[in-house]
Amino acid sequence: MPRSSSPHSVTGFVDLAKPEGMTSSDAVCIVRGVLSRVIGGRQKTGHLGTLDPLAEGVLPVALGKATALFDFLAFKTKEYIARFTFGKTTDTLDRGGHFSEETGRVPDADEVAAAAKMFVGDIMQVPPAYSAKSVGGRRAYDLARKGVEVELTARRVHIDDIHLIAAEGDEFTLSVVCGGGTYIRSLARDIAAELGTCAYMSALKRTRSGIFTLEDAVTLEEFRAAPEKQIIPAERALDGLPRLVLGEKEERMISNGVPVPSASEAGEHAAVFSEGGRLLGLGQADERGMRLKVRL
């Protein structure tokens, strides 16, 4: 099992298939508890992007020093299969809320497909009132539950692709490929608004988050049965980046915060390795060379 420099923490990732009906935090707690018992110490964990309790699918869990890669990985491309129910909506924009409108028009498949195409590219999106966004130091969902009117600021998100894959009655299933930070519930609301009606998200499955896929994900039962076999090395998360291999002198330099020569342009990232093949961390170039942005 790969370990960080701490004797009480494993470093790497778990590609977890979160079940419907469980919070992301509860799923992470289970992973942490299992690994803490295995190593006989406190395991550091964190997930790379919340899945709502009513959603299922890929939930990458970072372990140990790999949690420091959150900012780099959290906004990688994600893929979803979403079911939207048209003609009605809820206060939470998903099936877990209370119906706030039930008399909207149900569009046909061609209308939904055409409206969905309007959301491809960079769009400004307002998060749902029932979301974890911070409003004056409070979670938006806490304020919404107390009846406080929550006004959230629109923010830019990116949709790579969205298209209709099935339609039956008032339910429409869409494939969504998007950048991190996108609220699929908000897409249901906004696509419906384009059609002069309302909708809510009635089901959601995340099939990919960056390099982590549902096809390769493990269930909680599988993880409990053999946790040591389910740890993905941290370097897998840096697949696709340029690889910078350093000799002993350069390794000492970069480990002490001194930039090393690099052909990368300022702002570019690289996976930095020692001559012996040990992953040193995530590097980022500036005008003076390559520095370690995240030490692993």
Catalytic positions: 52
Inter-axis angle of helices 109-117 and 184-194, to 10 degrees?
A: 110
Q: How far is the CA of 223 from the CAs of 13, 48, 51, 266, in angstroms?
A: 12, 18, 19, 40
- For residue 103, the tally of other CB atoms under 10 A from its CB is 8
Q: How far is the CA of 94 from the CAs of 17, 65, 99, 188, in angstroms?
A: 21, 35, 10, 9
The count of C-alpha atoms lying within 13 angstroms of the C-alpha of 59, restricted to the half-sphere facing its C-beta, is 28
Which residues lie below 8 Å from residue 3, measured CB to CB, with a gap of 6+?
A: 9, 10, 11, 39, 64
Distance CA 88, CA 97 (A): 12
Coil/strand/helix, residue 255: helix
Nearest one of 240, 178, 234 to 204, comparing CA atoms: 178
Which residues lie below 8 Å from residue 162, measured CB to CB, with a gap of 6+?
A: 116, 117, 119, 120, 174, 175, 176, 177, 178, 187
